[in-house]
């Protein structure tokens, strides 16, 4: 039976990480996969996470099963973080939440839920979008449509084209929006644009599906939730997928959350029963450790303050690296305007170089980024900035 199988292409982000790890050259630089790195090039365990883990080691009483949704305490704290503790939809008990295995688990279970709502469910995704969005959503059987988003020429959002495309969507279609720190472009909707998108979607009967994997790494925990909170005020139904990989640094602990907002409490309960049944038939229940860490942090004022402080430092470091990179490129003999890097948010920006130039950076300088020229700005540091900019200058001058 297995002899009939064809090998599949590798995931571009994960295969690049494997190549980077196998590279033995000492000056190698990983600007590929979206993980935060500190000045020493390490992906640290946050102080609040370490403290929570040490508390859990002494206080945890059992490893018995939790539930398909994870624990109620985690779900309540995660809801408040995303929607704000006083959000009317939370007060009205219209939001069902389930802790999931990472943001991927949230997206996939959201897609499975939508597929269960209708065999014809269609979801619109930004062009471009994160490489794993389409496999996660289409793999559940959803039809995929695309709306233009990032303009490679202007390095900004093609907002009019985005609205025009969404005008073609049909009532009941879902629209996947990046809550903040758009992956892969770093180009985010401003508040006015969020309002306009919400107006269009409400008028056409479209339903939001927000992926927010980087809350706190753009402008701040509250600021980054602007779009999701606005939509949750205006729409009776929507989905939100979040991740604790980046803002809690819990990558390998696979901790995320899926929220389903329903029109009323009774419909939320029914939607929850559908979702929990899907979860039971996929992985039964999520891993507990990451969620226990988040629960420990968010239920303790001092740990929350420590976490927020460290998260702010991470965010400010990324913003500082963006500024330094633009300054270093401007001071070099590289032609072109790279100021857009400073305006974009989160870990990623498209450098705007060709796949051949990306390949040359990898071959000649051990500098790794995705072929699309998506670079993880957080992978830079003071020690590597000049090396990176002079390698870039070399590669661009060879045009």
Contact set for ligand LMR, span 132-151 (CB under 6 A): 132
Our CB check for ligand LMR shows the closer of 35 and 285 to be 35
Contact set for ligand LMR, span 183-242 (CB under 6 A): 183
Examine residue 36 and tell whether it contacts ligand LMR (CB under 6 A).
Answer: no
Binding to ligand LMR by CB under 6 A, coded x per residue (else -) over 330-369, reads ----------------------------------------
Our CB check for ligand LMR shows the closer of 8 and 57 to be 8
Examine residue 130 and tell whether it contacts ligand LMR (CB under 6 A).
Answer: yes
Label residue 389 exposed, middle or buried (CB < 10 Å: 0-12, 13-18, 19+): buried
Number of residues that bind ligand LMR (CB under 6 A): 6
Question: HSE-up of 311 (CA within 13 Å, CB side)?
Answer: 27
Helix 289-298 to helix 301-331 angle (10° resolution) is: 100
Q: In the complex, which residue's CB is closest to ligand LMR? A: 34
Residue 32 C-beta: closest distance to ligand LMR, Å:
7
Between the alpha carbon of residue 64 and those of residues 285, 294, 296, the distances in Å are 12, 19, 18
Longest Cα separation, the chain: 64
Give DSSP secondary structure letters for 320-377.
HHHHHHHHHHHHTT--S--THHHH--SSEEE----HHHHHHHHHHH-EE--TT-EEEG
Residue 33 C-beta: closest distance to ligand LMR, Å:
4
Residue 44 C-beta: closest distance to ligand LMR, Å:
17
Residue 246 C-beta: closest distance to ligand LMR, Å:
8
Examine residue 105 and tell whether it contacts ligand LMR (CB under 6 A).
Answer: no
Examine residue 13 and tell whether it contacts ligand LMR (CB under 6 A).
Answer: yes
| Catalytic member of 28, 211, 278, 307 | 211
| E strand or H helix at 231 | helix 226-234
Examine residue 81 and tell whether it contacts ligand LMR (CB under 6 A).
Answer: no
Q: Is residue 211 flagged as an active site residue?
A: yes
Our CB check for ligand LMR shows the closer of 68 and 290 to be 290
The token pair at 83 is: 């929607």
Task: Tell me what percent of the chain is helix, strand and coil, each rounded to the nearest 5.
Answer: 50, 15, 35
- Note whether 255 and 247 are within 8 A (CB): no
Distance CA 17, CA 33 (A): 7
Residue 352 CA to chain centroid, in angstroms? 21
Residue 132 C-beta: closest distance to ligand LMR, Å:
6
Residue 130 C-beta: closest distance to ligand LMR, Å:
5
Distance CA 108, CA 93 (A): 23
The token pair at 259 is: 């929220």
- Note whether 173 and 206 are within 8 A (CB): yes
Examine residue 33 and tell whether it contacts ligand LMR (CB under 6 A).
Answer: yes
Our CB check for ligand LMR shows the closer of 13 and 117 to be 13
Our CB check for ligand LMR shows the closer of 32 and 208 to be 32
Distance CA 158, CA 19 (A): 34
**Tokens 């597929």, located at residue:** 115
| Catalytic member of 124, 130, 194, 307 | 130
Bridge partners of 364? none
Q: Is residue 50 flagged as an active site residue?
A: no
Examine residue 34 and tell whether it contacts ligand LMR (CB under 6 A).
Answer: yes
Contact set for ligand LMR, span 173-192 (CB under 6 A): 183
Q: Is residue 199 flagged as an active site residue?
A: no
Between the alpha carbon of residue 71 and those of residues 144, 295, 352, the distances in Å are 32, 9, 44
| Catalytic member of 28, 155, 246, 278 | 246
Our CB check for ligand LMR shows the closer of 183 and 242 to be 183
Our CB check for ligand LMR shows the closer of 148 and 346 to be 346
Residue 37 C-beta: closest distance to ligand LMR, Å:
12
| Catalytic sites, residue numbers | 130, 211, 246
Which residues contact ligand LMR by CB under 6 A? 13, 33-34, 130, 132, 183
């Amino acid at each position: 039976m297995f002899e009939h199988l064809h090998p599949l292409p590798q995931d571009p982000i994960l295969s690049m990480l494997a190549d980077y790890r196998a590279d033995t050259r000492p000056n190698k630089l990983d600007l590929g996969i979206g993980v935060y790195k500190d000045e020493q090039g390490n992906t640290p365990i946050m102080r609040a996470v370490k403290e929570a883990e040490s508390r859990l080691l002494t206080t945890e009483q059992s490893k018995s099963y939790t539930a398909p949704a994870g624990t109620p305490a985690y779900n309540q704290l995660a809801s408040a973080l995303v929607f704000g503790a006083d959000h009317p939809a939370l007060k009205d008990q219209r939001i069902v939440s389930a802790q999931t295995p990472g943001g991927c688990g949230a997206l996939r279970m959201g897609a499975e839920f939508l597929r269960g709502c209708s065999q014809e469910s269609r979801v619109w995704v930004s062009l471009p979008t994160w490489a794993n969005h389409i496999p996660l959503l289409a793999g559940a059987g959803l039809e995929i449509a695309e709306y233009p988003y990032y303009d490679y020429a202007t390095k900004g959002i093609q907002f009019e084209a985005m609205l025009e495309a969404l005008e073609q969507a049909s009532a009941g279609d879902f629209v996947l929006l990046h809550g903040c720190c758009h992956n892969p472009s770093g180009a985010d909707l401003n508040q006015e644009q969020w309002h306009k998108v919400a107006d269009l979607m409400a008028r056409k009967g479209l339903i939001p599906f927000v992926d927010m994997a980087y809350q706190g790494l753009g402008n701040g925990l509250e600021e980054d939730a602007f779009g999701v909170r606005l939509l949750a005020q205006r729409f009776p139904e929507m989905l939100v997928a979040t991740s604790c990989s980046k803002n809690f640094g819990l990558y390998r602990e696979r901790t995320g959350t899926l929220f389903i907002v329903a029109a009323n409490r009774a419909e939320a309960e029914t939607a929850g029963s559908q979702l929990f049944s899907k979860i039971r038939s996929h992985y039964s229940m999520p891993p507990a450790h990451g969620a226990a860490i988040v629960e420990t942090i968010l239920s303790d004022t001092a740990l929350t303050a420590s976490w927020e402080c460290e998260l702010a430092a991470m965010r400010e470091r990324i913003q500082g690296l963006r500024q330094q990179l633009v300054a270093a490129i401007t001071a070099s003999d590289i032609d072109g305007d790279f100021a857009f890097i400073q305006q974009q948010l989160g870990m990623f920006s498209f450098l705007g170089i060709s796949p051949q130039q990306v390949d040359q950076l990898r071959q000649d300088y051990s500098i790794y980024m995705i072929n699309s020229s998506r670079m993880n700005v957080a992978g830079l540091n003071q020690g590597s900035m000049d090396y990176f900019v002079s390698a870039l200058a070399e590669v661009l001058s060879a045009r």
